[in-house]
Amino acid sequence: MTTEPATRPDAHRWPDLATPPRSPVRARIAEALFRHAVRPLPVRVVFPDGRCLGAGGRGAPVMRIERPAAFFHRLGAGSKIGFGEAYMAGDWTTDDLPELLTPFAAQLSSLVPPLLQRIGRRLAEPRRPATEEMTLDGARANIRRHYDLSNELFATFLDETMTYSAAWFEAPDEPLADAQRRKIDGVLDLARVTAGQHVLEIGTGWGALAIRAAQRGARVTTLTLSVEQARLARQRIAEAGVAERVQVLLRDYREAHGSYDAVVSVEMVEAVGDRYWPTYFATLDRVLRPGGRVGLQSITMPDDRMRATRRDHTWIHKYVFPGGLIPSVEAIEENLAEHTTLRAVERRSLGPDYARTLAHWRRAFLDRWADVAALGFDETFRRMWEFYLGYCEAGFRVGYLDVHQFSFARR
């Protein structure tokens, strides 16, 4: 899809974007560092006057700087947040975000002005605000900021299963819905879910996993903090004919009661926050009956990067997923060892599959933009959502991000 230069963001909807910040010194430093960082990359960065940066030849992804002054002011004032905000505001554009962002994915940290790096990360990168802390009240507010946007919005780009997590592909041309069903069965298999069991699911989504577990003959209690997700999940569960086997509760994982033969949780731990990881994993241990298994799917990142950035406030936090933190495999295993009687007994990686999943979502979102716009979302939202999906796809392409399925059993 060819992306045209965007109109300026509506000041009422997007007050942080309508007027670029003014920081001449930081802007000059950011411009110098950006030029240095781009020089060896296999891309072409084109300015309005025709000047071009980068090592990319013909056919290389092109980044068009539409408003250089605004771009460098945002980059200097906001580092990686500014980079994303500049795309949202239309200060730069491209015809293929994932292709462009893939070579950038491992280089974005170099866009922090070097003088600020010498002062320290505390000044170079914004700190996560206390208002996004994943307390009981904070978690409800943070989850609803994303998942309660609109069920109709998510339906425009998700497949028929309404599954919002990495699929598991086996063939190049496999339909996304089939790959999602394989992923769901993979998690249920890791938790050894069979007929007659009582299963706890932490993070309902729109009900696909609960439906599948019930179809296996299990009874399911599933927890969510999203009012909108709960409403549609109950409807979908009833339409699937398994309502008598599934109970959907608006409840935090910390409020889970009872004991269960199996516990499953798909891409929910990323929303917990590292301060509460001990509580989350201890909860899995507390509610699991002797002999039971946990099936967990989590996005992961390298341990050194997780620890270096765990207090940073990123573009993703500000605009998409407030308050959370993607764990490393090591952090998961450490929390199990220190706060539970559980250990990981099986693990598989689906990182490349997530890149493919995100590509499906991005294409569907752009192809159905007219339907999204009819729901009341504006052009700046379109660019925000496109950047979110493209940025994540690039991260999985280069291995900066991964996703793992785990089976936990008691030691």
Domains of the chain, CATH where assigned: 15-126 (no CATH), 131-410 (3.40.50.150)
pLDDT of residue 239: 98
* Positions of E strands within 96-245: 198-202, 219-224
Please tell me the predicted confidence (pLDDT) of residue 196.
Answer: 98
Known catalytic residue at 392: yes
Q: What is the pLDDT of residues 271-290, one digit of tens each?
A: 999 999 999 999 999 999 99
Amino acid at position 153, single letter: L
Q: In what order do the strands lie in the sheet with 92-94?
A: 52-53, 44-46, 62-65, 92-94
Q: Is 232:259 a contact under the CB 8 Å cutoff?
A: no
What per-residue confidence (pLDDT) applies to 204? 98
Token pair in block for residue 384: 């925000």
Give me 275's structure tokens. 């301060």
Alpha-carbon radius of gyration of the chain: 22
| pLDDT value of residue 367 | 97
Averages of pLDDT over runs of 10 residues in the chain (411 residues) are 64 85 88 91 95 93 96 89 94 96 74 48 62 87 89 97 98 96 98 98 98 98 96 98 98 97 98 96 98 98 92 91 94 98 98 98 97 96 97 95 98 90
Q: Which two tokens stand for residue 4?
A: 């045209």
Query: What are 76's two structure tokens?
Result: 């200097």
C-alpha to C-alpha distances, 178 to 114, 161, 182, 210, nearest whole angstrom: 47, 9, 6, 17
Contact 209, 265 (CB under 8 A): no
Residue 225 — φ and ψ, nearest 5°?
-105, -5
The one catalytic residue among 329, 392, 401, 403: 392
